[in-house]
Structure 1
Amino acid sequence: MTLNDRIFGVLMIVLAVAYGWGASQLPEPFGGSEGVGPDTFPLLLAVVLSLAGLYMVVQPDPDNAWPWSRTGIELIIAVVVLVLYAMLLQPLGFIFSTILVVGTLCWRMGSAPIRAFVTATIAGVVVFLLFGFALDLSLPLGVLSFMEVG
């Protein structure tokens, strides 16, 4: 069953290359590229993802099998939810799309729906504030764009 890991590893490498290329297409911030820009974190994720994929290709698990049971269905749901996240990020904004995605994934992992979405709301707002104030990086506001200053 080592072929499963190798196939998945190759898919991860392809995804990392596409993700890294997409990150490299982000516009440079005003004033040049001094230090951390909007492409830094996505490029770092692409490198980590490609290294993990390469590891799976080179060193596959000999006892691995595809999870065709309920776990496989949950993985498919998670992938669909994450693709929807990427599609909803600009129109809805970071906070609302993160609430929907994190809340849904927490709920699918067994959390009560109210608790899942309260956790998602806290996480979305805290990460938004962290990026905006601590890291000085802007995230899409989407439907909250009326709050933009200036």
Structure 2
Amino acid sequence: MDIKFDRIAAVLFLVVGVLFIVGSKHIASSAYGSVVGPDIFPFILGIALALLSIRLFFETLRNQSYKYGKKEKLDYKPFLIIFVTTLLYILLLETLGYVITTFVFLFVCFQAMERGKIIKSLIISACFSGIVYFIFVEVLKGTLPGWPVWFS
């Protein structure tokens, strides 16, 4: 844990969160055939990012027991796996649909962070992607990329 890095990251994420909030106000508030507009998701993400970055900043201020002389080795492999998976998620979302890409994305990320517990990762990934799709599309009458053409 590097306190200086965490503080800088917290401030940068706070700025990004505020930019998400401000930027979402410039997006149209409704979409054709959808009760939930495209501005809602970036607005909620911006609020979440800003709140989490504020929490991180205050946690770094509270942590006084850190030994500055000791450095931890950074683990790049999980970061690279999650980064590549995120890029693939963005590229394949329209082609494969929300449920499949989100399921695979979450499963790979869970396994990159903590190897093993495959059944638990499968269940959480499937439930999250299915429930979010159902709530957003059926309950809120929003639109998300559906199933791939070859699947239906």
Structures share fold, TM-score greater than 0.5: yes
Change (3 A) 1:6 1:125: same
> Partner amino acid for 1:38?
P
Q: How does 1:21-100 map to 2 (within 5 A)?
A: 23-24=24-25, 26-30=27-31, 36-57=36-57, 60=60, 61-62=63-64, 63=66, 68-70=73-75, 73-100=77-104
Identity %: 24
Would you say how many aligned residue pairs link Structure 1 and Structure 2?
Answer: 144
Runs of 5+ consecutive residues of structure 2 not aligned to the other structure: none
> Partner amino acid for 1:37?
G
Moved more, 133-142 or 82-91: 82-91
Moved more, 96-105 or 77-86: 77-86
Q: Considering only aligned residues, what root-mean-square deviation do their CA atoms show, in Å?
A: 3.6
Equivalent residue number for residue 133 of structure 2: 128
CA shift, 1:15, in A, is 3.2
Runs of 4+ off more than 4 Å: 64-67, 112-115, 144-147
CA shift, 1:46, in A, is 0.4
CA contact (8 A) 1:89 1:142 kept: no
CA contact (8 A) 2:31 2:37 kept: no
CA contact (8 A) 2:31 2:38 kept: no
Quick one: distance in 2 between partners of 1:23 and 1:50? 14
Runs of 5+ consecutive residues of structure 1 not aligned to the other structure: none
Change (3 A) 1:103 1:39: same
TM-score (norm 2): 0.67
TM-score (norm 1): 0.67
Quick one: distance in 2 between partners of 1:66 and 1:95? 40
